[in-house]
Structure 1
Amino acid sequence: MTRILVRTGPLIVVAALMGAMPALAQAPDAEAAADRAAQTRLADVDTLVALTSEGAILYAQDEVKLNGYQYCSQAVALAEAGEFRQSIRAASKALHLANAGNDENLKALANRDLAIAYSYGGQLDKSIEFAREALRHTPKDPQIVYAPAHKMIGDARFRRGDHAGAVLSYEEALTLSSPRYAPLVQASLTNALIETGDLARARELLGKIPNQREPGLQAQLDRTHARLLLAEKGLRKRWRPTANSPNGPTGLTAATSIYGPGTVWHVPSKRWVARPRPRRPSTVL
């Protein structure tokens, strides 16, 4: 074979590199595809079947084994503390025990807790998936499962900007709520009504919620009061006197004002004081 030696100059080198660019460009694309595939596999881990299998493995590894209901309590506490992955693991162990014992009540509770953990963690699709799964089961006490499940669906809708859909979910949750859980749902419903512009109903609903002993829930109600006041103030600024509404915009009640002379819209007669940031209000009461 005869070899032909060609002198390579700068232009030839550049041309060779440019010719290799498509091959080099394919490497990052392949890497990105591999990353997407890995993310898909991780998402699949969180399916109902996979979580049950994971729960079985985690349960077998526990030196001190709890019963399913204790794992559910642990899952709620961890979610409220911000330990979302640990909360999911505890709930998956409860789900494993529920399936192993064919415990319909425990299945409902475990799926409820998974919906809560995923909601707190910002994974809204997963939260809705497990909330709906919880609704498919028959718990001994429907109030402690169905109300939170509907609320998680409402929370997901609210965070996605579907405020009218959130109102429907919160209303469903409210009809199923226990007296202890109802104020949390009412606060969320009030926020959704504010976003839909139904300030009259928001004011009426908020006025029915008594002061709460739990600091986290009371702080949430205080924030909701503030949001409603800002919305009402914005409505007041946009209002102009008309023959049909000479005294003010619909839904605002005459009372002492904090907005200055000539403004007579209702505000709650309470002192607003600074408080340290409380822990997240309990989702399951």
Structure 2
Amino acid sequence: MSSNNNTLSAAAALIQQGRSTRSTSRWKILMRYPLMLIGFTLFLTLILIVIAGPYFVPNDPLLIQMSERLRPASWDYPLGTDHLGRCIFSRLAAGAQMTLSLAGIVITATVLIGVPIGLLSGYVGGRLDSFIMRIVDGIGALPEIIVAIAVSGFLGPSITNLLIAIIAVKWVEYVRLVRSIVLLEREKEYMEAARAAGFGTWHMIRRQLLPHIVSPVIVLASLDIGKIILIVSSLSYLGLGAQPPTPEWGAMLNDGRPYFQTIPELMIYPGLCIMLVVMLCNLIGDGLRQLLDVRNK
């Protein structure tokens, strides 16, 4: 009895040691990528500012005051005013909420659409896989921004159509990623053992395949947020996304374009916001790729 207890204690100690080693290893990886920690911290700070921003902005971002147009930075207007007398700082804060919300909706929708289709295509195979991949190859044959512009232009300028256009081109990446992982994993021995044990398709997908997909999808999604923000801003800049007077960074770039030579700040401020957020997303995505060892799995 004492021998069994000692064996169990030793096994528990080994398990705990293994967990501690993995935790320590990941912490060391985190320390090797301080830029990711900085990016993640700044991105969370930005999210908090976006959530609380509307309650603390100094002015109404939609209020038009022609008597205050093109004012320089002051106590009342921290970054000055635009060509319609609207507070630029307040519009940037409201635009952050709009742009990040649109990016969040798109990334959520693309993951919910692309991951199940990729799982089904890779696991079932056959004619269904061929049919799905022909659609994916057709959509992916052209650059994303070109297809998004075409779809958005066909549907008409609006935020809803903007979301539809971006989702229509982004889901194919997740189908390809998930399908490739499923094709790699489905013929391995543990999958054969699960089939021999009589487990059904739902169990095989949920318990055997899904854990292998989570990490790569998280990394791709974190990198995609920056790309989506660029596409949202680009379409809004072209007049195919957010419509006046909605505050959105791409639309603000377009509004400031006629005044670039005289008051470049009208374009510089929203451009800097877009650049900063995209850079933070790339830092986070690159760090997560290293942390989760996606390339080595």
Q: TM-score w.r.t. structure 1 length?
A: 0.26
Higher relative contact order (CA 8 A, sep 6+): 2
Q: TM-score w.r.t. structure 2 length?
A: 0.26
Larger radius of gyration: 1
- Greater fraction helix: 2
